[in-house]
Amino acid sequence: MAIMRPAIQINKLAFGYPGQSDLFSDFDLVIDAGSRFGLFGPNGAGKTTLMNLMTGLLVASDGHIRLLGKEIKKHKSSVNFLFGFVPQDFSFYHELSPVENLAFFGAWAGLSSPLIRKRTGELLDILGLDAVRDKKVKDFSGGMKRRVNLAIGVINQPPVLFLDEPTVGVDVQTRHAIIQYLKQLNAAGTTLIYTSHQLSEAEDLCDRIALIDQGRIIVDGQPDHLLSEHEQDGLEGLFLHLTGKNYRDQSV
């Protein structure tokens, strides 16, 4: 039986923003390959920071982060071939069409021109953007922009996909379509590492969740187990039960 390497392996991670105390200290986390992992926490808990550390956008002051066994610090350029990233912000050129955006980001992802054309056709079809393939994205609705954002993130068929609130601000139909597509990707072997404030969505999508607060993991496990362990009937209740009801904007 082949031993699968974890998608993400974090050991003794330390990180702090300049002029502030360390947000993460001695932080450990392992995410199995092929899983649908959800990362949750209140504002300022460290979700986006952790995601930026895992994607190499931030550099840890100490510890190790390995993506599919490769140390990010040492192999930044080759590690970048192994994952896709769907940021919360619309991360594309609004003056360009979906086809032009995918052509550009596909090239930057290291794909050849014919492969980009093939993947573009597939993705626009799956995500319902084929009819507007040559229109400028700036004229799209929020939901269409979210789908373009997602299409760019998966154009290179990455083994690991990071998603930072991929459904924020979209209607129910678009959310449903995006979640279904993510499940398809996962079924095909893509590891999903996902963060959101949509906890009902997380219940539907994730097979494992971790709740972090102030740079520490409070709970980590399968949603069903966590709910029964803490005697809650939903993730929202669990969230409030573990993190409290006070505003968390002070960290700003």
Partner 1 sequence: MYRLWATIQKDIRVLSRDKLGLTFLFIMPVLLVLIVTSIQNNTFELINKNKVPLLVCNRDTGASSFQFIRALDTVGLFTVQLIPADQNDQSIRDRLQKKDAFLAVVVPADFSAQMAIRTKSLSGKALNSFGLGDSTGEASDKEAGPAHGKHADRTGGGAVHGDGGGDADGMPITLYYHPILQETFRRSAQGAIYSALQLVESRQLLRTLYFSINEKELPDTLENELMTRRARISELPVSRNGDRSTPNASQHNVPAWTIFSMFFVVVSLGSGIVREKLNGSFIRLKTLPTNYFVAILSKQITYLGVTMTQAALIFAVGVWVFPLLGLPKLNLPGDWAGLILLSLLCGWCAVSYAICIGVFAQTEEQANGFGALSIVILAAVGGLMVPDFAMPGNFQTALKLSPLHWCLEAYYGLFLEGGKLKDVWSNVLSLFLIIAGLQGVTLWGLKRKNLI
What are the residues binding partner 1 (CB under 8 A)? 55-57, 59, 77-78, 80-81, 83, 85, 87-93, 95-96, 100, 103-110, 112-113, 136, 152-153
Residue 208 and residue 36 in contact, taking contact as beta carbons nearer than 8 Å = yes
Identity of the residue, 164 or 201, whose beta carbon is nearer to partner 1 in the bound complex: 164
Regarding beta strands 36-40 and 160-164, do their DSSP bridges make them parallel or antiparallel, or are they unpaired? unpaired
In whole angstroms, the minimum distance from the beta carbon of 63 to partner 1 comes to 19
Identity of the residue, 91 or 157, whose beta carbon is nearer to partner 1 in the bound complex: 91
In whole angstroms, the minimum distance from the beta carbon of 51 to partner 1 comes to 10
Identity of the residue, 113 or 222, whose beta carbon is nearer to partner 1 in the bound complex: 113
Identity of the residue, 102 or 219, whose beta carbon is nearer to partner 1 in the bound complex: 102
Which DSSP letter does residue 186 get?
H
DSSP 110-172: T--HHHHHHHHHHHHHHTT-GGGTTS-GGGS-HHHHHHHHHHHHHTT--SEEEEESTTTT--H
In whole angstroms, the minimum distance from the beta carbon of 227 to partner 1 comes to 33
In whole angstroms, the minimum distance from the beta carbon of 159 to partner 1 comes to 14
